[in-house]
Amino acid sequence: MVSIAGSKKLKRQMAPLFWGITRKDSRFVVTVRPGGHPKHLAIPIAVFVRDTLKLVTTLREAKSVIYGGKIKVDGITRRSLHHGIGLMDVVELEGIPDVYRLVPKDSMVLQPIKINESEKTKKLVKVTRKTTTRGSKTQLGFHDGHSIISDTKVNVGDTCIMQIPEGKILDAIKLEKGCQVIVTSGINAGHIGKVVEIKEGTFVLPRRALVNIGEREIEIPVDLVMVVGKDKPVIQIE
Protein backbone atom coordinates (compact mmCIF):
# COMPACT_ATOMS: atom_id res chain seq x y z
CA MET A 1 0.00 0.00 0.00
CA VAL A 2 1.30 3.45 -0.95
CA SER A 3 2.03 5.74 1.98
CA ILE A 4 0.11 9.02 1.81
CA ALA A 5 1.46 12.21 3.32
CA GLY A 6 -0.99 14.05 5.54
CA SER A 7 -4.59 13.11 6.30
CA LYS A 8 -6.48 10.65 4.09
CA LYS A 9 -9.80 12.37 4.74
CA LEU A 10 -11.29 15.84 4.64
CA LYS A 11 -14.28 17.45 6.32
CA ARG A 12 -17.07 17.63 3.75
CA GLN A 13 -17.72 21.31 4.51
CA MET A 14 -14.14 22.07 3.43
CA ALA A 15 -14.34 20.25 0.09
CA PRO A 16 -14.37 22.34 -3.13
CA LEU A 17 -17.80 22.90 -4.70
CA PHE A 18 -16.76 21.32 -7.99
CA TRP A 19 -16.45 17.93 -6.28
CA GLY A 20 -20.25 17.79 -6.33
CA ILE A 21 -20.58 16.07 -2.95
CA THR A 22 -23.41 16.39 -0.46
CA ARG A 23 -22.45 18.16 2.75
CA LYS A 24 -24.53 16.34 5.37
CA ASP A 25 -24.39 12.63 4.51
CA SER A 26 -21.35 12.08 6.72
CA ARG A 27 -18.64 14.14 8.35
CA PHE A 28 -15.64 13.21 6.22
CA VAL A 29 -14.78 12.46 2.60
CA VAL A 30 -11.73 10.98 0.83
CA THR A 31 -9.15 13.65 0.05
CA VAL A 32 -6.50 14.14 -2.64
CA ARG A 33 -2.97 12.92 -2.00
CA PRO A 34 -0.03 15.14 -3.06
CA GLY A 35 0.56 14.70 -6.78
CA GLY A 36 0.81 16.44 -10.12
CA HIS A 37 -2.17 18.75 -9.64
CA PRO A 38 -2.54 21.13 -6.68
CA LYS A 39 -4.87 19.62 -4.07
CA HIS A 40 -7.37 22.48 -4.37
CA LEU A 41 -7.56 22.01 -8.15
CA ALA A 42 -8.07 18.24 -8.25
CA ILE A 43 -10.73 15.61 -7.56
CA PRO A 44 -9.85 12.29 -5.88
CA ILE A 45 -10.75 9.35 -8.12
CA ALA A 46 -13.07 7.86 -5.50
CA VAL A 47 -15.11 11.08 -5.35
CA PHE A 48 -15.07 11.42 -9.14
CA VAL A 49 -16.57 7.95 -9.65
CA ARG A 50 -19.09 8.09 -6.82
CA ASP A 51 -20.18 11.74 -6.56
CA THR A 52 -19.26 13.44 -9.84
CA LEU A 53 -20.22 10.72 -12.34
CA LYS A 54 -22.50 8.83 -9.91
CA LEU A 55 -21.46 5.48 -11.40
CA VAL A 56 -21.41 3.86 -7.95
CA THR A 57 -23.27 4.72 -4.78
CA THR A 58 -20.86 3.84 -1.97
CA LEU A 59 -17.16 4.11 -1.19
CA ARG A 60 -16.99 0.31 -0.99
CA GLU A 61 -18.18 0.05 -4.59
CA ALA A 62 -15.72 2.76 -5.63
CA LYS A 63 -12.87 0.80 -3.98
CA SER A 64 -13.85 -2.31 -5.94
CA VAL A 65 -13.68 -0.41 -9.23
CA ILE A 66 -10.42 1.41 -8.46
CA TYR A 67 -8.50 -1.45 -6.80
CA GLY A 68 -9.63 -3.66 -9.68
CA GLY A 69 -7.65 -1.49 -12.09
CA LYS A 70 -10.71 -0.41 -14.04
CA ILE A 71 -9.85 3.30 -14.24
CA LYS A 72 -7.24 4.92 -16.46
CA VAL A 73 -6.12 8.54 -16.17
CA ASP A 74 -4.22 9.79 -19.21
CA GLY A 75 -3.92 6.20 -20.36
CA ILE A 76 -2.34 4.93 -17.12
CA THR A 77 -4.18 2.64 -14.70
CA ARG A 78 -4.62 4.24 -11.28
CA ARG A 79 -5.35 2.14 -8.21
CA SER A 80 -5.39 4.80 -5.48
CA LEU A 81 -8.60 6.24 -4.06
CA HIS A 82 -6.70 9.46 -3.41
CA HIS A 83 -5.13 10.01 -6.83
CA GLY A 84 -6.06 13.53 -7.94
CA ILE A 85 -7.40 14.20 -11.43
CA GLY A 86 -7.38 17.75 -12.71
CA LEU A 87 -7.41 20.17 -15.63
CA MET A 88 -7.40 18.49 -19.07
CA ASP A 89 -6.95 14.97 -17.66
CA VAL A 90 -8.56 12.19 -19.71
CA VAL A 91 -10.43 9.49 -17.77
CA GLU A 92 -11.50 6.07 -19.07
CA LEU A 93 -13.52 3.45 -17.19
CA GLU A 94 -13.51 -0.22 -18.10
CA GLY A 95 -16.89 -1.42 -19.32
CA ILE A 96 -18.16 2.09 -20.04
CA PRO A 97 -17.96 3.43 -23.61
CA ASP A 98 -17.77 7.09 -22.55
CA VAL A 99 -14.41 8.85 -22.25
CA TYR A 100 -14.19 12.00 -20.12
CA ARG A 101 -11.99 15.09 -20.10
CA LEU A 102 -11.96 17.48 -17.14
CA VAL A 103 -12.32 21.14 -18.13
CA PRO A 104 -13.52 24.41 -16.58
CA LYS A 105 -17.24 24.84 -17.23
CA ASP A 106 -20.15 26.96 -16.00
CA SER A 107 -17.94 28.92 -13.56
CA MET A 108 -16.73 25.64 -12.03
CA VAL A 109 -13.00 24.90 -11.95
CA LEU A 110 -13.49 21.31 -13.11
CA GLN A 111 -16.35 19.51 -14.81
CA PRO A 112 -16.26 16.29 -16.87
CA ILE A 113 -17.26 16.38 -20.53
CA LYS A 114 -17.64 13.41 -22.85
CA ILE A 115 -15.14 13.33 -25.71
CA ASN A 116 -14.74 11.27 -28.85
CA GLU A 117 -12.74 8.04 -28.70
CA SER A 118 -10.25 9.51 -31.18
CA GLU A 119 -9.35 12.30 -28.72
CA LYS A 120 -8.38 10.19 -25.73
CA THR A 121 -4.71 10.06 -26.74
CA LYS A 122 -4.25 13.86 -26.69
CA LYS A 123 -4.34 16.48 -23.97
CA LEU A 124 -3.31 20.09 -23.54
CA VAL A 125 -0.62 20.95 -21.00
CA LYS A 126 0.36 24.45 -19.96
CA VAL A 127 4.04 25.28 -19.57
CA THR A 128 4.57 26.48 -15.99
CA ARG A 129 8.37 26.09 -15.70
CA LYS A 130 11.31 26.26 -18.06
CA THR A 131 14.84 25.55 -16.83
CA THR A 132 18.22 24.74 -18.32
CA THR A 133 19.82 21.51 -17.12
CA ARG A 134 23.32 20.10 -17.37
CA GLY A 135 24.47 19.96 -20.96
CA SER A 136 22.44 23.07 -21.88
CA LYS A 137 19.28 21.00 -22.29
CA THR A 138 15.87 22.55 -21.69
CA GLN A 139 13.51 21.01 -19.15
CA LEU A 140 9.83 21.92 -19.38
CA GLY A 141 7.41 21.62 -16.47
CA PHE A 142 3.67 21.48 -17.03
CA HIS A 143 0.57 22.29 -15.00
CA ASP A 144 -0.24 18.60 -14.40
CA GLY A 145 3.13 17.74 -12.87
CA HIS A 146 4.73 16.33 -16.02
CA SER A 147 8.30 17.42 -16.77
CA ILE A 148 10.33 16.46 -19.83
CA ILE A 149 13.55 17.34 -21.60
CA SER A 150 12.61 18.92 -24.93
CA ASP A 151 13.95 21.25 -27.59
CA THR A 152 10.45 22.56 -28.36
CA LYS A 153 10.52 26.36 -28.65
CA VAL A 154 8.06 27.49 -25.98
CA ASN A 155 7.87 29.92 -23.09
CA VAL A 156 6.11 29.82 -19.73
CA GLY A 157 2.41 30.38 -20.38
CA ASP A 158 2.38 28.61 -23.75
CA THR A 159 0.49 25.35 -24.27
CA CYS A 160 1.72 22.05 -25.69
CA ILE A 161 -0.36 19.29 -27.26
CA MET A 162 0.83 16.11 -25.58
CA GLN A 163 0.35 12.53 -26.72
CA ILE A 164 -0.68 10.32 -23.82
CA PRO A 165 0.35 8.11 -22.16
CA GLU A 166 3.73 8.43 -23.95
CA GLY A 167 4.22 12.07 -22.86
CA LYS A 168 5.38 13.10 -26.32
CA ILE A 169 4.91 16.72 -27.44
CA LEU A 170 3.08 16.87 -30.76
CA ASP A 171 2.84 20.64 -31.20
CA ALA A 172 2.96 23.93 -29.31
CA ILE A 173 0.64 26.95 -29.23
CA LYS A 174 2.00 30.30 -28.10
CA LEU A 175 0.24 32.68 -25.75
CA GLU A 176 0.02 35.71 -28.01
CA LYS A 177 -2.36 38.20 -29.54
CA GLY A 178 -5.10 36.48 -31.54
CA CYS A 179 -4.90 33.04 -29.88
CA GLN A 180 -7.86 31.31 -28.23
CA VAL A 181 -7.81 30.78 -24.47
CA ILE A 182 -10.06 29.25 -21.85
CA VAL A 183 -10.45 30.83 -18.42
CA THR A 184 -9.49 28.21 -15.84
CA SER A 185 -10.60 29.81 -12.58
CA GLY A 186 -12.89 32.44 -11.12
CA ILE A 187 -16.37 33.61 -12.09
CA ASN A 188 -15.49 33.39 -15.80
CA ALA A 189 -14.19 29.80 -15.58
CA GLY A 190 -15.05 27.85 -18.71
CA HIS A 191 -15.44 30.87 -21.00
CA ILE A 192 -13.44 30.74 -24.24
CA GLY A 193 -12.23 33.95 -25.85
CA LYS A 194 -9.70 35.61 -28.12
CA VAL A 195 -6.64 37.38 -26.74
CA VAL A 196 -6.68 41.04 -27.74
CA GLU A 197 -3.47 42.04 -25.97
CA ILE A 198 -0.82 40.69 -23.61
CA LYS A 199 0.19 43.20 -20.94
CA GLU A 200 3.57 42.63 -19.35
CA GLY A 201 3.76 42.51 -15.57
CA THR A 202 5.07 45.24 -13.32
CA PHE A 203 6.49 45.29 -9.80
CA VAL A 204 2.90 45.43 -8.50
CA LEU A 205 0.79 43.76 -11.19
CA PRO A 206 1.20 40.28 -12.73
CA ARG A 207 1.38 39.65 -16.46
CA ARG A 208 -2.15 39.97 -17.83
CA ALA A 209 -4.21 39.11 -20.89
CA LEU A 210 -6.99 41.24 -22.35
CA VAL A 211 -9.51 38.68 -23.59
CA ASN A 212 -12.58 39.20 -25.79
CA ILE A 213 -15.42 36.98 -24.58
CA GLY A 214 -18.56 37.44 -26.65
CA GLU A 215 -19.49 41.11 -26.47
CA ARG A 216 -17.24 42.01 -23.55
CA GLU A 217 -13.55 42.22 -22.73
CA ILE A 218 -11.94 41.14 -19.48
CA GLU A 219 -8.45 41.69 -18.16
CA ILE A 220 -7.17 38.64 -16.32
CA PRO A 221 -3.80 37.34 -15.04
CA VAL A 222 -2.26 34.90 -17.54
CA ASP A 223 -2.00 32.36 -14.72
CA LEU A 224 -5.80 32.03 -14.95
CA VAL A 225 -6.03 31.31 -18.67
CA MET A 226 -4.85 28.45 -20.86
CA VAL A 227 -4.19 28.61 -24.59
CA VAL A 228 -6.39 26.12 -26.44
CA GLY A 229 -5.77 27.03 -30.10
CA LYS A 230 -4.79 29.64 -32.63
CA ASP A 231 -8.14 30.29 -34.33
CA LYS A 232 -10.25 27.67 -32.54
CA PRO A 233 -9.71 24.97 -29.88
CA VAL A 234 -7.49 22.18 -31.20
CA ILE A 235 -9.18 19.53 -29.04
CA GLN A 236 -12.69 19.01 -27.69
CA ILE A 237 -13.17 21.12 -24.56
CA GLU A 238 -16.92 21.79 -24.51
pLDDT tens digits for 20-64? 877 767 778 888 888 889 888 999 999 999 989 999 999 999 999
DSSP code of residue 117 = G
Q: What is the pLDDT of residue 3?
A: 45
What's this model's pTM, rounded to 2 decimal places?
0.90
Query: What angle is formed at CA 73 by the lines to CA 72 and CA 77, rounded to 5 degrees?
Result: 40
In the chain, domain spans: 9-115, 122-173, 180-229
Q: Which CATH number fits domain 122-173: 2.40.30.10, 3.20.20.150, 3.40.50.720, 2.40.50.740?
A: 2.40.50.740
**Domain boundaries 180-229, CATH class:** mainly beta
CA-CA-CA-CA torsion for 153, 155, 160, 164, nearest 10 degrees? 90
Greater confidence (79 vs 7) lies with 79
Q: What is the pLDDT of residue 234?
A: 96
Q: What is the pLDDT of residue 7?
A: 67
Provide the pairing of β-strand 122-133 with 99-105.
unpaired
DSSP lists the bridge partners of residue 226 as 182
CATH architecture of the region 9-115: Roll (3.10)
Q: What is the pLDDT of residue 144?
A: 93
Distance set, CA 181 to CA 13, 47, 97, 104, 220 (Å)? 32, 28, 29, 12, 11
Choice among 25-39, 164-178, 183-197, 219-233 with the minimum mean pLDDT? 25-39
Please check the confidence at residue 207 and state whether its pLDDT lies above 90: yes
Q: Cα–Cα distance between 66 and 70 in angstroms, integer?
A: 6
Closest to 130 (Cα-Cα) out of 119, 141, 143: 141
- pLDDT band at 2; cut points 50, 70, 90: very low
Q: Do the first three CATH levels of 122-173 and 180-229 match, i.e. the same topology?
A: no
Greater confidence (136 vs 4) lies with 136
